[in-house]
Amino acid sequence: MTESLLLPKRNATVATRLRRSWPTLLIWIGLIFLAALWLIPFIIILLTSLRSMNDLISNGVFAWPQRFLPENFAKAWSIGNFSVYFRNSLILILTKVPLGILIAALAAYPLAKMRFRFNNAIFVIFLIGLAIPVQVTLMPLLVMMKQLGIAGTLPALIPPYVVFGLPFQIFVMRGFFRTLPNELIEAARLDGCSEFTVFWRIMLPLSGPALVTLFIIDALGTWNELLIALVLINSEAWLTVPVGLLRFQGQWASRYTELMAGVVISIAPILFIYIFLQRYLVSGLTAGALKE
């Protein structure tokens, strides 16, 4: 008798759980669909890079390769001179990205933790940099680099890359610094620490998520930047990966398999960096969202 009374209640509970799980299930189905839609172009590029030209012409882009040819990557690497392009882009990332983040952190710390006149006005001036289009600065940049005698070389890219990255980096670092308790700074000052020591020994180590986030975003932007590098660099020895890929495309436009192999080579390093460090992105970007 007792079990017969409890059975309707159990059925009602199960029905309630099913009704509540339907929205979640629909969300997951939608996310899976969007992920598949996003992956389709990459899968097509990858499969095209692993097949022969005869197979591609005979069966089309969407057919499964008759035979996989990983040697296409070796051909693209040697013919496209990607070793030089990778070297230049890696040099840019290893010099420009840490330098830009350090300058941004040095600027964001006083804006977040010090009280002085025109604090907010200075911060707004930095944010205005986000609204300045890169295109309007190309000619002044070219003239300036020629006057400095570094036009056409890799060092010509470092100053504009650093400057254009500062507004967003300062915005993120300032928001993160504001989440850190002021008691840490006051305790360090009582112990006799200078402002730079507080910044270098306390604030900077605690801002790891924001630093990793900015490193991912800045490295991705530096690796993929094309317009400034196309204007300022004209020597084959100093081309970056996007400009080198553009020239490779012009020379081998009809060799789609080697061209797609070059595309995969160009995006592989930054893709691996993003996959392994993606968990820091959301935590770093949203850390300062609720702190005023």
- Give the confidence band of 284 by pLDDT, cuts at 50, 70, 90: low
In a domain, 69, yes or no: no
**Would you state the pLDDT for residue 280?**
67
Domain count of the fold of the chain:
2
Q: pLDDT tens, 131-149?
A: 888 888 899 999 999 998 8
Using DSSP, state whether 222 is helix, strand or coil: helix
Pair (32, 88) in one structural domain: no
> The CATH number of the domain where 85 resides is what?
1.10.3720.10
Q: How far apart are CA 185 and CA 163, in angstroms?
A: 29
In a domain, 119, yes or no: yes
Residues 6 or more apart whose Cβ sits within 8 Å of residue 164: 129, 134
| CA dihedral of residues 31, 32, 33, 39 (deg, nearest 10) | 110
Residue range 182-203: mean pLDDT, rounded: 88
Amino acid occupying residue 160:
P
**Would you state the pLDDT for residue 93?**
92
Pair (121, 9) in one structural domain: no
DSSP string, 109-141: HHHHH---TTHHHHHHHHHHGGGS-GGGGHHHH
Pair (97, 25) in one structural domain: no
Containing structural domain, residue 235: 80-285
> At residue 11, does pLDDT exceed 90?
no
Q: Contact, 178 vs 108, CB < 8 A?
A: no
Exposed, middle or buried by CB within 10 Å (0-12, 13-18, 19+), for 143? Answer: exposed
Among 1-5, 78-82, 128-132, the range scoring the smallest mean pLDDT is 1-5
Residue range 102-127: mean pLDDT, rounded: 91
In a domain, 68, yes or no: no
Q: pLDDT tens, 19-38?
A: 667 777 788 888 888 888 88
In a domain, 130, yes or no: yes
Q: pLDDT tens, 220-254?
A: 899 999 999 999 998 888 999 999 888 888 777 67
Pair (30, 124) in one structural domain: no
In a domain, 184, yes or no: yes
Residue 112: closest CA among 28, 199, 200, 197:
199
> At residue 64, does pLDDT exceed 80?
yes
Pair (86, 44) in one structural domain: no
> At residue 59, does pLDDT exceed 50?
yes
* DSSP 8-state secondary structure symbol assigned to residue 246: H
Pair (112, 43) in one structural domain: no
Exposed, middle or buried by CB within 10 Å (0-12, 13-18, 19+), for 185? Answer: buried
Pair (200, 95) in one structural domain: yes
Average pLDDT of the residues of the chain: 84
In a domain, 154, yes or no: yes
Amino acid occupying residue 270:
I
